[in-house]
Structure 1
């Protein structure tokens, strides 16, 4: 079937009308309007990034464990191991290290170096230094040595 519509009241389409309609649908780049001052943009919500966890090096761990041993079992002078369980600084280092390994040696060297920094260069060994000072002085040296090991990341 072939049908023709013949309408006499048909209005021709304005070609600019289509152009205007397509411009509304896809405006393309527009000139930027001046921004009005506003509050700072909100920070996008994201999962909190965990802080890095510090893992002590073997020297720091040995020194920290030895000081914890002294805190738990007691500090002694003139004896590696007191009959009641207290230990001198070398005894605490041995208990913490478990063996005379590199961490034991390096922790002892750092402890003696810190003792010399705080109490003079005359100390040749940890036992002589340990036996000549008070518990508070010895603890101060331990804490400083741990602090140095932490910052040296050893």
Structure 2
């Protein structure tokens, strides 16, 4: 490679002030350049206490049928010895049927849970919901309903 080192070049020396003046003419109002942000390691986040949000829990179909049936009994009344009496009150099985709307899976599971809870509280001799319902007081029946609803809630069904 052949490089010339003498000072006899054909280039004109650069005038830095001339270039700065030319750039000012091209952009008379330059936007200020933002200062760089400090490194992430130096940023200290504010100490905010974390609060746990309550988890969203949906009511299961069995719990809903049981809850709706008990609300129906509270509103229209409870009876013995008939599915629906002349005043519109229902026995436990009538309330279950009314709340479920049809004999679907939730209706069957709610009935099984209610009968199981009745057996827990009043002995294993009860074969059907109507036979248990007809042999107990309103307070005893309500206690079984409330326990069945709590179990459905805890089982998330």
- TM-score (norm: length of structure 1): 0.69
Is 2:134 aligned against 1:131? yes
1:108: Cα distance to partner? 0.1
Is 2:59 aligned against 1:75? no
1:50: Cα distance to partner? 3.5
Partner of 2:8: none
Gaps of 5+ in 1: 1-41
- State how far apart, in whole Å, the 1-side matches of 2:56 and 2:135 are: 38
The number of equivalent residue pairs is 112
- State how far apart, in whole Å, the 2-side matches of 1:77 and 1:149 are: 25
1:86: Cα distance to partner? 0.4
Is 2:116 aligned against 1:113? yes
Gaps of 5+ in 2: 1-45
- State how far apart, in whole Å, the 2-side matches of 1:87 and 1:137 are: 16
1:54: Cα distance to partner? 2.5
1:18-49 per-residue CA deviation (whole Å, 9 max, x = no partner) reads xxxxxxxxxxxxxxxxxxxxxxxx84167x65
- TM-score (norm: length of structure 2): 0.68
Partner of 2:16: none
**Which among 67, 84, 101 is matched to residue 98 of structure 1?**
101
- Tell me the SS of whatever aligns to 2:150: helix
Q: CA RMSD in A?
A: 1.5
